[in-house]
């Protein structure tokens, strides 16, 4: 009986020691860029974050004077995170496992456009817009048909229903068998 209790205690202790740490670090050249992961602010480079799930995530790096960099970063799981094995490594494995990924990005400086080029492109766009043509005037609408005023029902009664017009030829009405008599 004592052996079973000791074995159960060892299994319990052994099952609570498993641990997997998943992290990533983002570097940029130049450093100090703002980092967003899937639209959520993470920090300024170099910055660390936790990997919640493996797969693809969108990284956005922003720095004044540089082009904004959007990257879809993929990171596959290591062998010990494959389905089935991951239960053992996260719950039973007695040692700590670390998965640290490092991502490094080079940002490009903004290209300044001379004001004369901007002005000439704007004038070309304006000229193209003026050559599109004048839209046609709206067509006049036909006057709405006037309906006779509804007759007032007696107090406490509902108005009598109006019969529906017959359906057009070739249209099967609800409740009919679809055959013509």
- Asked whether 97 and 89 are in contact (CB, 8 A), the reply is yes
Per-residue pLDDT averaged across 149-163, rounded?
68
pLDDT at 61 over 90: yes
* Percent of residues, the chain, with pLDDT higher than 90: 26
CB atoms within 10 A of CB 161: 6
The residue with tokens 């229903």 is: 161
CB atoms within 10 A of CB 90: 14
> Under DSSP, is residue 105 helix (H, G, I), strand (E, B) or coil?
strand
Q: pLDDT per residue over 108-150, tens digit each?
A: 998 888 888 889 999 999 888 887 777 777 888 777 777 777 6
Reported as a pLDDT band with limits 50, 70 and 90, residue 175 is low
Reported as a pLDDT band with limits 50, 70 and 90, residue 178 is low
The pLDDT of residue 26 is: 93
CATH fit for domain 2-106, picks 2.60.40, 2.40.30, 1.10.10, 3.30.160:
2.60.40
pLDDT at 174 over 70: no
Residue 1 or 29, more confident: 29
pLDDT at 180 over 60: no
> Under DSSP, is residue 53 helix (H, G, I), strand (E, B) or coil?
coil
Burial class (CB in 10 A: 0-12, 13-18, 19+), 75: middle
Q: pLDDT per residue over 79-105, tens digit each?
A: 877 887 777 777 777 777 888 889 999
In the numeric block, which tokens belong to residue 158? 């509902």
Q: What is the largest CA-CA distance in the chain?
A: 98
């Amino acid at each position: 009986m004592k052996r079973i209790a000791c074995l159960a205690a060892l299994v319990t202790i052994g099952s609570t020691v498993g641990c997997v740490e998943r992290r990533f670090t983002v570097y940029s050249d130049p450093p100090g860029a703002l980092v967003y992961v899937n639209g959520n602010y993470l920090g300024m480079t170099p910055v660390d974050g936790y990997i919640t799930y493996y797969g693809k995530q969108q990284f956005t790096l922003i720095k004044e004077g540089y082009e904004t960099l959007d990257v879809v970063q993929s990171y596959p799981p290591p062998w010990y995170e494959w389905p089935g094995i991951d239960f053992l490594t996260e719950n039973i494995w007695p040692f700590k496992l670390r998965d640290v990924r490092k991502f490094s990005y080079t940002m490009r400086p903004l290209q300044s456009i001379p004001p004369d080029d901007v002005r000439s492109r704007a004038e070309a766009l304006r000229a193209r817009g003026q050559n599109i043509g004048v839209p046609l005037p709206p067509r006049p609408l036909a006057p709405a048909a006037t309906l006779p005023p509804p007759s007032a029902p007696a107090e406490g009664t509902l108005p009598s229903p109006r019969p529906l017009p017959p359906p057009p030829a070739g249209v099967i009405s609800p409740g009919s068998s679809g055959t013509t008599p």
